[in-house]
């Protein structure tokens, strides 16, 4: 019986307010073993309303929520417990790019970033291209294109040349000289980051942004000053005439030399099927200028041509229709602003 009485007294003591508060205070002072909860980065528009004329609400949810969440969940599983777990998606992409053993993490980070960029340039109330913008003027002055319809035709031809089941992103890009071109990236490829340098202005104006749906489970680790400068597009190498952090040299010196020996007209380009970025960007340019064309590509807009993007609204073989409708869903004011921001910086 004494033991039962002692147990009863102990139980009553533990329920006293003072002791309860003390116990609560003590437990709350212990270090938390949980990682911080991520915060969802919302779309700049309502997913449940879709993109009229382009993606239905269900299709948009598939791309912006189901797909993006799945990609990020798998990325989180891959980096948990590693040196990448405290980094943002963009930082993860840069760090994993230098380590072949982290290829899968790189691929998922690249996919999350590409998909987020694709969605960021869409709008339910898009603006049409302005004829007076520097983007439109640059387009009209390109010997290889010369007009918006020609750009649409060239872009569509690039998509049509892809394998029907290709999981790719097709990008509208510019270079420091203000030329415009179309390139594709496949599997884990991206135009947004090259050699640990962040590419692109406007939507991704040199900031370490959270991508759509990203859940950062711990504060992002501080990057070295040199990396911060590179990510902001402010390294001294980038400001020089020959960019050290070029995304891609799209043609070899010998091929550029051959291209410069004869200028190609738009009709020749299409009839010969020469639709590479180097040929399109170099058409009609002088030898001195053409040697620098396309060395550094900066993204303005992109479209995802993965089947999950168009299957519900356009059917299994509806990719071409999907691409045609995309042009009317792009917020061209964002594209024009990105083009102006980059070309202005390149002139400095």
Q: How far apart are alpha carbons 210 and 83 in whole angstroms? A: 19
Higher pLDDT, 1 or 66: 66
Q: What is the mean pLDDT of residues 288-311?
A: 77
Q: How far apart are alpha carbons 117 and 126 in whole angstroms? A: 16
Rounded to the nearest integer, the mean pLDDT of the chain is 70
**Is 56-347 assigned to CATH 3.55.40.20?**
yes
Q: Which residue has the tokens 């921001």?
A: 341
DSSP one-letter string for 5-60:
HHHHHHHHHHTSHHHHHHHHHHHHTSPP-SPPPP-----SS-GGG-BTTTB-HHHH
118's tokens = 């694709």
pLDDT at 197: 42
Radius of gyration over every alpha carbon of the chain, rounded to an integer in angstroms: 26
Q: How far apart are alpha carbons 137 and 241 in whole angstroms? A: 23
Q: Could you read off the pLDDT of 43-54 as tens digits, one per residue?
A: 889 989 999 999
E strand or H helix at 133, and its extent? none
The 10 Å CB-count burial string (b at 16+, else e) for 133-152 is: bebbebbeebebbeebebbe
Q: How far apart are alpha carbons 226 and 332 in whole angstroms? A: 33
pLDDT at 153: 92
Q: How far is CA 269 from CA 89, 189, 251, 292, in A?
A: 39, 26, 16, 20
Residues 307 and 209: beta-carbon distance below 8 Å: no
* Chain centroid offset of residue 155 CA: 18
HSE-up (13 A, CA, CB side) for residue 204: 27
Find the range with the poorest average confidence among 171-185, 188-202, 305-319, 322-336.
188-202
Q: How far is CA 127 from CA 98, 306, 327, 332, 342, in A?
A: 39, 25, 11, 6, 20
Q: How far is CA 66 from CA 213, 258, 279, 286, 330, in A?
A: 10, 47, 38, 48, 22
For 140, the 3-state DSSP assignment is helix
Contacts made by residues 223-232, CB under 8 angstroms, sequence distance 24+: 223/91, 227/94, 227/196, 230/196, 230/197, 230/198, 231/90, 231/94, 231/197, 231/198, 231/206, 232/198, 232/206, 232/207
Q: How far apart are alpha carbons 96 and 268 in whole angstroms? A: 42
pTM (whole model) above 0.85: no
HSE-up (13 A, CA, CB side) for residue 110: 24
Q: Could you read off the pLDDT of 72-115 as tens digits, one per residue?
A: 999 999 998 899 988 888 889 989 988 889 999 999 999 999 99
Count of residues making up the chain: 348
pLDDT at 144: 78
pLDDT at 108: 93
Q: How far is CA 267 from CA 151, 154, 181, 264, in A?
A: 13, 11, 16, 8
Q: How far apart are alpha carbons 301 and 173 in whole angstroms? A: 7
């Amino acid at each position: 019986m004494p033991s039962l009485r002692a147990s009863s007294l102990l139980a009553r003591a533990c329920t006293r307010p003072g002791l309860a508060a003390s116990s609560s205070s003590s437990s709350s002072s212990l270090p938390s073993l949980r990682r911080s909860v991520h915060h969802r980065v919302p779309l700049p528009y309502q997913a449940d309303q879709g993109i009229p004329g382009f993606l239905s609400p269900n299709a948009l949810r598939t791309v912006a929520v189901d797909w993006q969440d799945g990609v990020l969940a798998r990325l989180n599983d891959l980096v948990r417990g590693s040196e990448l777990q405290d980094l943002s998606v963009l930082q993860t992409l840069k760090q994993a790019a230098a380590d072949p053993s982290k290829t899968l993490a790189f691929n998922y980070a690249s996919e999350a970033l590409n998909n987020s960029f694709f969605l960021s340039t869409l709008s339910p109330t898009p603006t049409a291209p302005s004829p007076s913008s520097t983007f439109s003027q640059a387009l009209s002055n390109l010997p290889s294109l010369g007009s918006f319809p020609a750009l649409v035709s060239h872009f569509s031809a690039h998509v049509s040349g892809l394998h029907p089941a290709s999981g790719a992103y097709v990008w509208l890009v510019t270079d420091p000289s203000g030329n415009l071109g179309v390139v594709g990236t496949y599997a884990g490829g991206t135009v947004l980051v090259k050699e640990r340098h962040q590419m692109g202005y406007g939507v991704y104006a040199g900031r370490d942004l959270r991508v759509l749906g990203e859940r950062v489970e711990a504060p992002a680790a501080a990057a070295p000053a040199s990396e911060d400068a590179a990510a902001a597009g402010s390294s001294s190498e980038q400001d020089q005439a020959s960019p050290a952090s070029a995304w891609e040299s799209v043609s070899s010196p010998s091929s550029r030399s051959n291209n410069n020996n004869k200028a190609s007209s738009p009709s020749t380009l299409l009839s010969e099927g020469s639709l590479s970025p180097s040929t399109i960007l170099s058409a009609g340019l002088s030898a001195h200028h053409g040697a620098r064309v396309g060395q550094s590509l900066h993204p303005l807009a992109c479209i995802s041509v993965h089947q999950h993007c168009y299957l519900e609204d356009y059917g299994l073989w509806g990719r071409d229709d999907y691409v045609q409708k995309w042009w009317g869903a792009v917020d061209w004011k964002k594209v024009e602003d990105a083009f102006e921001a980059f070309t202005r910086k390149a002139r400095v």
